[in-house]
A and B are shown apart, each in its own frame.
Chain A
Amino acid sequence: MILKFDFSSSEPLYMQLRNQIVIGIGEGKLKPGEKLPTIRALAEESGINMMTVSKAYQLLKQEGYITTDRRSGACVAGKKTVEISETTLKALRISISELRLSGMKKDDILALCRSIYEEGETK
């Protein structure tokens, strides 16, 4: 999986990493049980501070997307059973409102959601 870090973005680097891994898992690019790079290796590879990578991994672990083990490092967790968080629902509401305000019809919004969802299924 290719990770992309935009150093000029206002979005914090740990969030960029967290979001890309979540998208990667969601789209099937990262399979359950698949090993993730170690914090040190990912930091060295990207030039990002180890603390930043560690922060993203901790967040992913907290959210149940990855598991960490002293021996095998970080791995993609199995199917997530945790309920949808309030933050996710809020973000979805904001996105739908933004699309509605931009003039999109309900069917177009649902079609867009379907297409984004299916992107992950085809990969």
Chain B
Amino acid sequence: MSKLILWLTVIWVPLLIGWQQLNEAKFKKNITVGVTLPPEAQTDAGVQIILDEFRRNTIIATAAVLALAGAAMLMESSYTVTIFMSWTLMAILIPMIPFVLANLRLKDYKKEKGWVQAHQTVFVDTASIENTRTLSPWLFVPPVFISLIPVIYDRDLTVMYLMMAMMCALGWFGYRYLYRNKAEMFNENTDITNALSRMRRYNWGKVWLLLSYAMSFTAAAMSVPAKYQMIAFIAMTVVMTALVAYTFHLEMKTRRIQQKLTADAKGDWYVDEDDHWLLGSFYYNPLDENLIVNNRTGMNTTINMAKPAGKVFMAISALAIIALPFIGLFIDRLGTQPIELTVNETELRTKTGMFHYEIALDDIKDTVLLEELPASLVRKMGTGTDRLLEGRFSSEQYSAMTLLADPTVSPYIIIETREGKIYMFNSRDPEVTRDIYSQLKK
């Protein structure tokens, strides 16, 4: 069941990526598949052949990623997360192939046709500078407070709510500082430049503001009592899905407007920054002082890889992506590592991998042996895989408990300390659990 949920949460992503990739073949600001071409190239037969092939390859790549997902779902293996993460890596890399191929072919064709413009020239329209209004930071204050409300009645997870509040506040920083306040210049037409800049900035602000409010909703949903957690979880999923869908809608809307506004615009010259965009997607410009730059189409931003911080960021991102299967392997192995339980004269120790906790025997008030998991067990913080529950959880009976247990192997020991803290743990060997329970009872 959890395997099915895991796949259902992501199976639609390749379709969105495919859709967005197909959109790259449409001309926006004279750019198609990351290559800037003169207006007359839009009807050129050679260009159309390359774009048709790109569309075909993108559809094939999307189908391949979906087929791999289908095969992975049917696979019976104890390495569920490794398979899932390996597929995620493929889902990121495979759609890039048609784009890179089309970009390289079109760049060669551009050279062949003599459409290459003067290098390393930057145009600035003084009438377009500082022409967009920024959102007030006060708009981001309510979600910060909403995220902090649960601290009043759910002190146990104060740290988590504080982190959520901080993320809501970071929404404003994301809006303000992950965006380069640059005019969307495309040719000498100031009106088009201003319209493109305002529209992009407006949509960018909407995304960050909505993200901030969605985060505060998540904090509120996480604070509801355990018996309503399922409803809260569904509501949270609906809100987050709606946010992703709306963000995608805004991205496509931005692209559509960029396409419409620049479709028939003719001028004496047009902006061509292809020299700085490696493979049409990665910005590398040692002469640009900015670290954050706006993508040429759509509303997203990227980083300048020529800056030292840009290089570090890119290296970390690349490593994180390549490491996905290994992270999967690590998580899968958590489920097979033994859970060690030991009792000595003074304390009880529980340990698996790097997770552990100790309870002084004098602190134990009550010990219970459960044959079934507590009802409505919900993870608040920590790890929750098929074969390992570790961290902070809540259930119908206990509002806050610390777990280190294999949910597939009954029984489970519950300890209540004199301070009122609840711990639940077991061994992967039921006999060991029963033995530890009898030792604790003595």
Contacts and interface: CB of A to CB of B under 8 A. Distances in A.
Interface of A: 1-8, 36-38, 41-50
B129 interface: yes
A3 B120 contact: no
Interface stretch (B20-28, B181-189, B417-425): B181-189
Q: Is the interface of B mostly helix, strand, loop or mixed?
A: loop
B300 to A, nearest CB: 18
Contacts of A8: 119-121
Given A1-B126, A41-B129, A7 B181 contact: no
Interface residues of B, number: 22
A91 to B, nearest CB: 24
Contact of A7 (B122, B124, B129, B182): B122
Interface centre among A6, A47, A49 (most CB of B within 10 A): A47
B289 A5 contact: no
Given A4-B122, A37-B129, A44-B182, 20 more contacts: A1-B126, A2-B124, A2-B188, A4-B124, A5-B121, A5-B124, A6-B120, A7-B287, A36-B126, A38-B130, A41-B130, A41-B181, A42-B129, A44-B180, A44-B181, A44-B290, A45-B129, A45-B182, A47-B285, A49-B289
10 contacts: A1-B126, A3-B123, A3-B125, A3-B126, A8-B119, A8-B120, A38-B130, A41-B129, A45-B129, A48-B289
B288 interface: yes
B127 A1 contact: yes
A32 to B, nearest CB: 15
Interface of B: 118-127, 129-130, 180-183, 188, 285, 287-290
Contact of A2 (B123, B287, B289): B123
Given A2-B188, A8-B119, A42 B124 contact: yes
B437 to A, nearest CB: 66
Nearest to A4: B123
